[in-house]
Structures are given as C-alpha cells and as structure tokens.
Structure 1
Amino acid sequence: MKTIAYKEFGSTTVLQTIEEPKPTIQDNQVLVKVKAVSINPLDWKIRKGEMKLMSGSKFPKHTGTDFSGIIEETGSSVTTLKKGDEVFGVVKNNMKEGALGEYVAVSASLVWKKPADINFHQAASIPTVGVAAVMAIQKMGTITPNTRILINGAAGGLGMFLLQLLKLKGGNITAVTGTNAINSAKSWGANSVVDYKTEDVLTKGTTYDVVIDLSGTMGYKNARKIMKSNSVFINPIPGPIDILTNPIKNLFRSKKHIVLLSAPSERYINELLHAIDNGLQIEVSKVFPFTQSKEAYEYAEKGGIVGKVVIAVN
C-alpha cells in the first residue's frame, strides 16, 4: 500500500510516498480503508523534531493522527464494528504511528461510527481537536456569563469546536483571528472579535479569567499581562519542557499554565457526536488529494486557516 513517511526530521521536503505491506490486525483491532486524514499542528511539530524526547528518533516515521474510512476487516474479538461500516478514529500513539496511507490498523476502541449527516472529510476532522475542545472546557472550571475567555488563534479546527461548545456554556468569549475569519468566529459563538492584523489584544486593557493560545503565538509570558489573579492559561500545543515542568511551577503561582494533551475516549467522542447531532458545524476549508500531501502540509503550516485542512486518500 502507499503511505506517507519521512526518514529524517525536517520541513515538508522530507515527506515522501513509499510502498509498505498492507497492515495485519490483532484480535482487538480493525483494518480501515482510509478515505480521509485531517491535519493537526502536532503533525509538523513531531516531523520537525520538536517532540523528539517523546517521539524518539527511529525512522521511518509516519504522519497523520485523525482519519475516516470504511472497515475492511475486523479482529476476532471485535463485536461493535463490522466490515463495511463507515467510521472515523485515531491512531493509538501519534508520536510513533501515522494514519496517512491507504490502510490503517487500529484498536477498535479508537474507532467510532461516522454520523450519517457528515461526510468523510468532516468526520476525519473530529477526534483530536474536538476532544481537545471538550477537555479545555473542563480545565476552565465553572463558566458563568461573567467568565471572560480569550481564544487566541480562534479560527482553526480547535477554535471551531471550542467556540461552538463554549457558546452552550454561556461564557463571555473574545476571539482573536485574522480578518478573513471574523465572520466565522462570530457565527461559531464569539461575543467579540479582535483582528490581530489591526489590533493588539495585549494592549487593549481587558483582563481575562481564561486565556487559551491555539496558535502558539502568544505564550504564557505575554498572556500573564492580560490574566486576572487566579486565572488559567491553557496551552494545547506545548513543548516537552512545558509538559514536564508546569505541574510543579503551578504550585507556586496563581496564574496557572495548564498543558492540554488531547486524549480521545468514548466519553469525549460521545459528547461531540451529541453536539454534532444538535447542529455543531464542521467546516473543512480545503481538501487536497493524497498525491498532494506535501502541498497540503505546506498550506496548513502557513496558518490563517478557517476550520480544517484534509487530505483525501481513497
């Protein structure tokens, strides 16, 4: 089968299409003929070597965490899924595995049936950012109409889910986006929008109970300037040092720096499926064919994307 892999850390130039044997499955696994794979920032952080403490340096490596497709084969102990089911899911360890290929073998516990009302591109966009949005809201604590929340870089996939889910909670949400995403941010639930191309949210004089930096361009050091006492800064794209040191540092500071690592589970996915059934929108801004996987990553890594970027495989 064809798959996308790389044999050294680097830019998109290291990505290449290679031939590998079709995966074999264990008793608890399913084999999925992949239809689509969505792109997440963690994909290129791993590829560039920024996460090598966790990913290791053994090559070749594969890319892509979230996928959708059709069940081709099920293991002998799998009873909840069958051949022909339309599904979406995630690889177990995105530091060492990847879904961007013609087939993927994964545990049945990491695969869910695709809602009939969404397409494969939308389904592949759900797991990582959708679950991260649910987990981020949990880490915010009690949300009231007076809770001031700032979402920096609110137009991407995580922002799309987060804004819509927060809207149901009733917080006062400020979204920081580019000019091209203002209308999307408002439609998803932002009470107000700051265009970073013309305004600097750090100098506007407003302070927040929660700051979540989806773009990674603000950072905790800058965010502290606009955080209230006993507030939280949520970091969904942390580096290894953040992951290791912040739990200890938070013991000694009132403005907490919370690391967010998405961990899809049945509970979180069911919450997202319920929201989708009740009208949550999934916007896919651009779809690239498998043969243009390198171009897809180049496009996504430039930033400023509204919603998700997806690669169509089969």
Structure 2
Amino acid sequence: MKAIAYHKFGSTEVLQTVEQLKPTIKADQVLVKVKAFSINPMDWKIRKGEMKLMSGSKFPKNTGTDFAGTIEEIGSSVQGFKKGDAVFGVVKNMMKEGVSAEYIAVTSSLVWKKPSNINFAQAASIPVVGTAAVTSLLKMGDISAKTDILVNGATGGFGMVLLQLLKRKGAKVTAVTSTDGAEYAKKWGADYVIDYKKDNVLSKADKYDIVIDLSGKMGFKNAKAIMKSKAIFLNPTPQPIEIPLSLIKNLFSSKKHLVILSNPSAKYTNILLAAVENGLDIEVNKVFSFDQYKEAYEYAEKGGYIGKVIIEIQ
C-alpha cells in the first residue's frame, strides 16, 4: 500500500511516498481504509524533531493523527462495527503512530461511526481539535454570561470548535483573529472580535477572567497584563519545561497558568458527536490530494487559514 513517511527529522522535504505492507490487526483493532486525514501543528513539531523526547527517533515515521474512512476488517473481540461502516477516529499514540497511509490498524475504542450529516473531510477534522476544545472547556470550570473570556488565535480548527462550545455555555467571548477570520469568529459565537493586524489586545484596558492562547504566541508572561486578579491562562501549546514550572509558579500567584494536555476518549467524543448532531459547523479550509502532501503541509505550516486543512486519499 502507499503511505507518506519520513526517515529523518526535517522540513517537508523529508516527506516521501513509500510502499508499506498493509497492517494486520489485533483482536481489539479494526482495519480502516483511509479516505481523509487532518493536518495538525503536532505533525510538523514531531517531524522537525521538536518532540523527540516523546516521539523517539525510530524511523520510518508516518504523519497525521486523526482520520476518517471505512472499515475493511474487524478484530475478533471488537463489537459494534461491521465491514463497510463509515468511521472516524484517532491513533492511540500520536507521538509514535501515523495515519498517512491507504490502510491503518486502529484500536476500536478510538473509532466512532461518522455522523451522516458530515462528510469524510469534516469527520477527519474533529478528534484532535475537538478533544482539545472540550478539555479546555472543562478546565475553565463554571462559566456563564458574566465570564469574560479571550480566545487568542480564534479561527483555526481548535478555535472553530471552542467558540461554538463557549457560545452554548453563554459566556462573553472576545476573539482575536485576522481580518479574514472576523466573520467566522462572529458566526461561531464571539461577542467581540479584535483584528490582530489592526489592534494589539495587550495594549487595551479590558481585563479577562480566562485567557486561552491558541496561537502559542502570547504567553502567560504577556497575558498577565490583561488578566483579572484571579484569572486563569490556558496554554494548549506548552513547551515541555512549562509543564512543571507552571505548577510551581501557581503556588505563589493568584493568576494561574494551566497547561492543557488532551487525549481523545469516548467521553469527549460523545460531547462532540452531540454538538455535530446539533449543527456544529466544521469548516474545511482546503482539501489536498494524497499526491499533494508536501504542498498541504507547507500550506498548513504557514498558518493564517480558517478551520482545517485535509489530505484525501482516493
């Protein structure tokens, strides 16, 4: 079967099309014929070697974490699925497994039936950013119309889901995005929009109960200037050193720095499936063919787009 793989850390130039054996499944796995897979920032962080302490340096490595497709084979202990089912899901270990192949073997507990009201590209967009959004929402605790929340970098895939979940909670949300993203931020539930190309949110007088930095560019040190006295800063893109440091510093500060570490699960995905059933908007910015994988990753790594970028396999 065809797959996208790399044999050393580096830029998109290390990616190549290779022939791999079709995987054999274990008793608790399903074999999925991949129709589409999503691009996430973690893909290139791993590929560039930034996460090698967790990903290891064993090659070859495939790329990608979440996918959608159809079931080709079912393990002996798997229940609830049949051959031909349209599904979506995520690999168990995103640091060491990839989905960029015509067929993948996946633990059945991390696979779900695709809702009929979304296509394969939209389904492949859900698991990673959706889980991160639900995890962030739960970390925020009790929120209401009186809760002032700032979402920085609000119209990528993560922000797309988070804004819609926050709207359903009734929170007062300010979104920081590009000029092109303003319309989407409002559609997804933002009460106020700040165009970062025209205004610097850090220079404004407004203060927030919760600041979540989806861009990874603001940082807790800068965010403190716009946080209320007992506010929290949510960091879904921490550097490894920030995880222990945040715990120590939180002991001495009323403004808290909380790291978001998320893992897809049935609990979180059921929340997302309910949201999809109730009209969750999933914006696919651009779809690339399997042969255009280098262009797809180069496009995604530049950033600045709305929603998600997808690679399809015909």
Aligning the two structures, in what range does the TM-score lie when normalised by the shorter sequence?
over 0.9
Distance 1:167 1:217 in 2: 24
The 5 Å alignment of 1:152-231 reads: 152-231=152-231
Give the number of aligned pairs: 314
Superposed CA offset, 1:273-305 (max 9, x none): 111111111010100001011110110111111
The answer on whether the counterparts of 1:51 and 1:239 sit within 8 Å (CA) in structure 2 is no
* SS of equivalent residue, structure 2 residue 199: coil
Aligned AA (1:179) = T
Superposed CA offset, 1:128-175 (max 9, x none): 101111110111111011111000100100000000000011111000
Note if 1:19 corresponds to 2:19. Answer: yes
Superposed CA offset, 1:83-137 (max 9, x none): 1000000001010010011111010000000000100000000001011111101
* SS of equivalent residue, structure 1 residue 198: coil
Superposed CA offset, 1:250-293 (max 9, x none): 22222111111221111111111111111111010100001011
Distance 2:58 2:242 in 1: 23
Q: Which residue of 2 aligns with 1:30?
A: 30
**Structure 1 residue runs without a partner (length 5+):** none
Aligned AA (1:42) = M
The TM-score with structure 1 as length reference comes to 0.98
Q: Which residue of 1 aligns with 2:258?
A: 258
* SS of equivalent residue, structure 2 residue 206: coil
**Structure 2 residue runs without a partner (length 5+):** none
Distance 2:47 2:237 in 1: 14
Aligned AA (1:155) = T
Aligned AA (2:3) = T
Q: Which residue of 1 aligns with 2:79?
A: 79
Distance 2:45 2:208 in 1: 28
CA shift at 1:78, angstroms?
0.5
Distance 2:58 2:257 in 1: 31
CA shift at 1:245, angstroms?
3.1
Superposed CA offset, 1:7-57 (max 9, x none): 111111111111110000000000000000011111111111111111112
CA shift at 1:203, angstroms?
0.2
Distance 1:248 1:12 in 2: 37
Superposed CA offset, 1:167-218 (max 9, x none): 0111110000000110000000000000000100000111111111111111
* SS of equivalent residue, structure 2 residue 257: strand
The answer on whether the counterparts of 1:65 and 1:90 sit within 8 Å (CA) in structure 2 is yes
Distance 2:84 2:309 in 1: 26
Distance 2:262 2:129 in 1: 7
Aligned AA (1:135) = T
CA shift at 1:309, angstroms?
0.4
Note if 1:274 corresponds to 2:242. Answer: no
Distance 1:44 1:257 in 2: 25
The TM-score with structure 2 as length reference comes to 0.98
Aligned AA (1:172) = K
Superposed CA offset, 1:201-260 (max 9, x none): 000111111111111111111111111122111111222212343233322222111111
Distance 1:295 1:150 in 2: 32
Q: Which residue of 2 aligns with 1:69?
A: 69
The answer on whether the counterparts of 1:54 and 1:240 sit within 8 Å (CA) in structure 2 is no
The answer on whether the counterparts of 1:53 and 1:240 sit within 8 Å (CA) in structure 2 is no
Q: Which residue of 1 aligns with 2:140?
A: 140
The 5 Å alignment of 1:80-159 reads: 80-159=80-159
Aligned AA (1:263) = N
Distance 1:242 1:300 in 2: 25
* SS of equivalent residue, structure 1 residue 263: coil
Give aligned-pair identity as a percent: 67
| Structure 1 segments of 4+ aligned residues over 3 angstroms from their partners | none
CA shift at 1:79, angstroms?
1.1
CA RMSD in angstroms comes to: 1.0
The answer on whether the counterparts of 1:50 and 1:239 sit within 8 Å (CA) in structure 2 is no
Distance 2:24 2:144 in 1: 50
Q: Which residue of 1 aligns with 2:245?
A: 245
Distance 1:52 1:250 in 2: 28
